[in-house]
A and B are shown apart, each in its own frame.
Chain A
Amino acid sequence: GAVVSQHPSWVICKSGTSVKIECRSLDFQATTMFWYRQFPKQSLMLMATSNEGSKATYEQGVEKDKFLINHASLTLSTLTVTSAHPEDSSFYICSARSAQGVYEQYFGPGTRLTVT
């Protein structure tokens, strides 16, 4: 149990275009989902926290107009990178927190974004 999927697993897009990344909790309901960014050989940096049905809370320094987060249901959150630039190339990871039982976070496998 407690599986989180991300789609796509990797994506290449051209500079100036937008790309959407999906995060799904497959076998549990997630009231809260977190989006992280990981640079090569570095730690995970929390970008934002999203709660189902409400606006996401962004960490300091993260542009909310550039990284649009939607948490429309208890099993799906999306991150849209708008007007992507090469510096947005990174590994994006989501995690989901169950609404029931132990409040652990379960991580998705990540999405590798390359902007050319």
Chain B
Amino acid sequence: GDSVTQMEGPVTLSEEAFLTINCTYTATGYPSLFWYVQYPGEGLQLLLKATKADDKGSNKGFEATYRKETTSFHLEKGSVQVSDSAVYFCALSVNQGGKLIFGQGTELSVKP
């Protein structure tokens, strides 16, 4: 079945460090891919998305490129801030607006 695998956390970085959170997926169709962020005590927020191969989603300095050949959607940011500390979820949807399948989440902690 369809699934999403993320790198395990927690990930601890110093402020201004480069961030990569790996995400790979398995899907029978042509999924849309998403990154959601959950700040402490809050609900999930859509961070970025990509709906077809080679699309790049970007928001707030974060980027992820839909790589069909490697079935990946890795999240990157060039310089993290303390305020980026949160749990990041990679997700896919095989039908536009349909149910989301989430990865296990990766906790990011950024130290000053």
Contacts and interface: CB of A to CB of B under 8 A. Distances in A.
A and B: partners? yes
Interface of A: 4, 6, 32, 34, 41-44, 46, 49, 93, 95, 97, 103-110
A32 B95 CA distance: 13
B105 interface: yes
9 contacts: A41-B105, A41-B107, A44-B100, A46-B100, A46-B101, A95-B100, A105-B97, A107-B36, A107-B43
B97 A110 contact: no
Contacts of B42: 109
A103 B97 contact: yes
A103 B96 contact: yes
Contact of B46 (A43, A93, A104): A104
Nearest to A46: B99
A43 B102 contact: yes
Contacts of B89: 43-44
A43 B103 contact: yes
Contacts of A95: 44, 100
Given A107-B45, A109-B43, A97 B97 contact: yes
B58 interface: no
B43 A104 contact: no
- Residue from A49, A93, A107, A108 with most neighbouring chain B CB atoms (10 Å): A107
B104 interface: yes
Nearest to A49: B99
Contacts of A103: 96-97
A32 B46 CA distance: 18
A104 B44 CA distance: 13
Contacts of A49: 99
Given A34-B99, A95-B100, 15 more contacts: A32-B97, A42-B104, A42-B105, A43-B102, A43-B103, A44-B89, A46-B100, A46-B101, A49-B99, A93-B44, A103-B97, A104-B46, A104-B49, A105-B46, A106-B46
Contacts of B36: 107
Given A41-B107, A42-B104, A43-B105, A108 B43 contact: yes
A63 to B, nearest CB: 19
A105 B101 CA distance: 12
